[in-house]
Amino acid sequence: MATSVKSIGNIISNPPNLSYDGQQVRIDTLQDKEIIVRDFVERQNKLPGRGPDATYVLVSCDEINGGIVKRVFFSTSSSSIRQWLSQAGLPKTAVVRKVLLGGGKYYWKFE
């Protein structure tokens, strides 16, 4: 018996376009800042050179800066952040950290 895999676009004519309220930011603008992670969704990565199963997460959070709270969202493919999100009961507070590996390489994590 032959099986086939179909794209969700072939099954649902207009798949939902998930989006978040707030300002889109780069994760590096949140470095060493406290955030409250509210929600996240995993999406397929459609950038050239990525494998067919490549994904990233879109994270919705509140940035806390001097007592002022601002709703923002960002995308990341960090495996460390993905693992944290899978174990976290949301909402949950975290600090965004950049971990340097040497040779110009780094990754992002939540503490």
Q: Which two tokens stand for residue 64?
A: 């806390």
The pLDDT assigned to 57 comes to 92
Evaluate whether residue 1 is within a structural domain: no
Evaluate whether residue 9 is within a structural domain: no
Residue of higher predicted confidence among 15 and 64: 64
Number of compact structural domains in the chain: 1
Q: Is the pLDDT of residue 11 over 60?
A: no
Evaluate whether residue 30 is within a structural domain: yes
Residue of higher predicted confidence among 8 and 95: 95
The pLDDT assigned to 10 comes to 54
Residue 53 CA to residue 40 CA, distance in Å, equals 18
Q: Is the pLDDT of residue 5 over 70?
A: no
Residue 15 CA to residue 42 CA, distance in Å, equals 14
The pLDDT assigned to 89 comes to 86
**What number of other Cβ atoms are within 10 A of residue 12's Cβ?**
9
Evaluate whether residue 2 is within a structural domain: no
Computed on alpha carbons and rounded to an integer, the radius of gyration of the chain in Å comes to: 16
Evaluate whether residue 29 is within a structural domain: yes
Residue with tokens 């309220």: 21
The pLDDT assigned to 54 comes to 83
Closest-CA residue to 97 (of 66, 76, 69, 71)? 76
